[in-house]
Structure 1
Amino acid sequence: MKFRFCLGFFLLIMQQLAVADSVNFYDYDEVASKIFWNELYNGQGWTLYCGLRLASIPSLTISGMTVSIEHIYTSNRMVQALGCHSRQQCYENNPDFRIMESDLHNLYPVWIDASNALYDSEYGIIEGEYWRFENCDLERKKGVVEPRPVARGNIARAIFYMHNTYNLPVSEQTIEILKTWNLADPPSKQEIRRNEKIQKLQGRRNPYIDKPSLVTTLK
């Protein structure tokens, strides 16, 4: 009887570990057309940079503005880090890229005009109020972008996750800036709920949302 109990308990623990370790990744086209809009956000939430309320119709705000899916750690930098000549080459020949590109922890809804204006900029600090994008607290100067304060922690934790999970390069200067953002803007209820949803969809959490103090170990 005792043996059967121990065996049953062991099998239960192993089953739970197997579920916890199972990671599901999707093709980016499936993420962009279905999973991101219909399952992760489902007409709820706000755009990252400007705080525009999302509509029930995918890719739109309630005011009718177009929203795109933004890679916080940009796909261009992934391509460079993996030594590919183009996104297409990486997509066709590097399975790691396909996983990175579709990782939901790195994807946020962004007003498309802001996304286009900030193409391939670096996150950083801009002294003073240099540029505010059409009633949106988003500044850009000489290739550096400083987002609104309530978005900075989300951005920092997404980049920390990509850096740690996929060994993607981030400069020491950027890491130090992002550490201050992580401290000043702790995870909100919305970001925590998002992490829970992504775990259900993808099978992997962002540990920097669960425990922001983990950034002290980053280099």
Structure 2
Amino acid sequence: MLNIVPLSVILLLLSTSGHAQTFDSFYKAKKYLTRQIDPYDTTLYCGCEIKKQGKKLIPDPSACGYQPRKPITRSGKPNVRATRIEWEHIVPAWEFGHQLQCWQQGGRKNCRKVSAKFREMEADIHNLAPAIGEINADRSNFRFGILPHTPYQHGACEVKIDFKQRVIEPPYYARKQIAEAYFYMQKTYGLKLSERQQKLFTSWVK
């Protein structure tokens, strides 16, 4: 069974030590986290090792068995997001953004412009995790849940996504990290969780 990636352990220690690095933009946060990646770090959903290619991060599917759900895009071009690492918001920006007034007046773009709180939330490294770009895209802003009858669609990657229900089931080894990110955002920024979410994430933490 795969362990939670070392990077997540570092971020957890930072969040409880009072010495967490803070940023005022998502771009700066991503740049910082990219520098922190070491050879033992793996992606959140597939457990793929992460390699550095110049300034870029790429997944190594050879050991984890990831296969793109859509290797070719609708335009007939290779799916480049399947070959790169992106920094995923565990609690989607859509989810925490919708709880702010700025989102109702112009969406993410407006929140970035007028809300210091949104910028801080968007750039909080404790809510960011490395994910294969295609998985990040497929997850979108779907809620987490359990999908007993949904098949895997990304090779041996143990993530399930039901596009109709807009639900994603993460691998067992990633659930605690995901739940802790939600509770961190709840405690730090007053993120509102439904009773169903609260119950699910409590069980995942345990």
TM-score under structure 1 length normalisation: 0.68
Residue type of the alignment partner of 1:47: T
1:62 Cα deviation after fit: 3.3
Choose 165-174 or 121-130, whichever is displaced more.
Answer: 121-130
Note the C-alpha offset of 1:86: 1.1
Give the CA deviation at 1:45.
0.1
Identical positions, percent: 25
Structure having the higher helix fraction is 1
Aligned to 1:55: 51
Output the amino acid matched with 2:34: W
Which letter does structure 1 place at the counterpart of 2:183? F
2:92 aligned with 1:94: no
> 2:148 is aligned with what amino acid?
E
Higher relative contact order (CA 8 A, sep 6+): 2
Task: Give the C-alpha shift of residue 43 in structure 1.
Answer: 4.5
The equivalent position to 2:174 in structure 1, one of 148, 151, 158, is: 151
Q: Which amino acid aligns with 2:57?
A: S
Gaps of 5+ in 2: 1-16, 62-81
4+ runs deviating over 6 angstroms: none
How far apart in 2 are the matches of 1:151 and 1:161? 16
Q: Does the aligned pair in 1 maintain the 2:22–2:123 contact within 8 Å?
A: yes
Which runs of structure 2 are paired with 1:154-173 in the superposition (5 Å)?
Answer: 154-173=177-196
SS at match of 1:163: helix
Shift of 1:130: 3.4
Structure 1: 5+ residue stretches without partners:
1-19, 184-219
Kept after mapping to 2: 8 A contact 1:79/1:90: yes
Does 2:139 match 1:118? yes
What letter corresponds to residue 35 of structure 1 in structure 2?
Y
Task: Give the whole-Å Cα distance in 2 for the aligned partners of 1:45 and 1:67.
Answer: 12
- Which residue does 1:74 correspond to in 2? 92
Equivalent in the alignment of 2:197: 174
Mark the structure with the bigger radius of gyration: 1
TM-aligned CA distance change 1:92 to 1:50, over 3 Å: same
How many residue pairs are counted as aligned between the two chains?
162
Higher strand share: 2
TM-score (norm 2): 0.72
TM-superposed deviation, 1:170? 1.3
Q: Equivalent residue for 1:211?
A: none
Matching of residue 127 in structure 1 with residue 145 in structure 2: no
Q: RMSD over aligned Cα, in angstroms?
A: 1.9
Among 26, 29, 41, the alignment partner of 2:27 is 29
SS of equivalent to 2:41: coil
